[in-house]
Amino acid sequence: MTIDQASVVRALPLVMGIVNVTPDSFSDGGRYLTTEVAVAHGLELLAEGASILDVGGESTRPGASLVSVDEEIRRVVPVIEQLAPHGRVSIDTRKPEVARAAVAAGATLINDVSAQLWPVAADLGVGWVAMHMQGEPATMQLDPVYDDVVDEVCAFLAQRAGEAEKAGVSEIWVDPGFGFGKTLQHNLTLLAQLDRVVSLGWPVLVGTSRKGMLGRILADSDGVADPVDPDDRLAGSIASEVWAMHRGAAMIRAHDVRAAIQAAKVVAA
């Protein structure tokens, strides 16, 4: 199914700025670990034009260490308390206790890579992002297998979003989950056919920012073994984000907010 191109160029895609309060995130781990530095970073992203800040206290990259509920709350709650008066905040978590503490601190969207927390969103009256992931972060990249990745991701997202709708969640986003239990080919197929995810009817969030798939494409094209460094993936991030916006993504989750917003403005124009 194709999308209505006119509606794509009329709407300016939103940009969600990433605030990782973690020691081990794949691209910026340890850079914003104290409350003070994380808040300053979030304010900077708001000044750059982010529509929402996605605060996370646990990395989901393969091999990241597990974080206890208490530690995750300790990392994110003070940051959310200080950012929420300045702009909209989402909480990037898989844990219901952390989601509840974050909403009490001022978050109004639960960004849920496990796609299991819709009852919490319904209970608290906040928005919810359902992201697709095959397996668990620790092992998801070992051998991801699909018969048809687009069919399976679409069926999963439609089922979860439908459950959330029935439970009374009034703001629902769906996200194909780039890099979450997917090979490079799976990611590229999903990106190429993103209009099929868009045609499910829920607004689509896309997160390709600085991801390994970009590092892999660039390394392969140069014939080098190691993926290009995360700090050298800005152009690749923007290219994939522009593609996603043109295919109908309504929001882009980005580390490099200013560049993503400039790209969104040009796409919208």
Per CB under 6 A, 59 contacts ligand HH2: yes
Distance CA 106, CA 89 (A): 7
Q: Minimal distance in Å, beta carbon 243 to ligand HH2?
A: 15
68 to 87: interface string for ligand HH2, x by CB under 6 A: --------------------
Residue 211 annotated among the catalytic residues of the structure: yes
Q: Within 13 Å, how many C-alpha atoms sit on residue 172's CB side?
A: 27
Q: From the list 253, 254, 256, 267, which residue makes contact with ligand HH2 (rule: CB under 6 A)?
A: 253
Q: From the list 15, 19, 20, 102, which residue makes contact with ligand HH2 (rule: CB under 6 A)?
A: 20
- Look-up: residue for tokens 């597990």? 66
Residue 166 annotated among the catalytic residues of the structure: no
Smaller CB separation from ligand HH2, 196 or 233: 233
Q: From the list 73, 91, 131, 190, which residue makes contact with ligand HH2 (rule: CB under 6 A)?
A: 131
Q: Within 13 Å, how many C-alpha atoms sit on residue 243's CB side?
A: 17
Q: Minimal distance in Å, beta carbon 59 to ligand HH2?
A: 4
Q: How many residues bind ligand HH2 (CB under 6 A)?
A: 21
φ, ψ at 242 (rounded to 5°): -65, -45
Q: Minimal distance in Å, beta carbon 41 to ligand HH2?
A: 13
Per CB under 6 A, 244 contacts ligand HH2: no
Per CB under 6 A, 182 contacts ligand HH2: no
Instruction: Name residue 19's beta-bridge partners.
Output: 55
Q: Minimal distance in Å, beta carbon 112 to ligand HH2?
A: 8
Per CB under 6 A, 113 contacts ligand HH2: yes
Which residues are within 8 A (CB) of 52 and not within 5 positions of it... i.e. 6 or more apart? 14, 16, 17, 87, 88, 89, 90, 109, 251
Catalytic residue among 75, 211, 233, 247: 211
Active site residues per annotation: 211, 253
By CB under 6 A, name the binding residues for ligand HH2: 18, 20, 22, 25-27, 56, 59-61, 92, 111, 113, 129, 131, 175, 177-178, 205, 207, 253
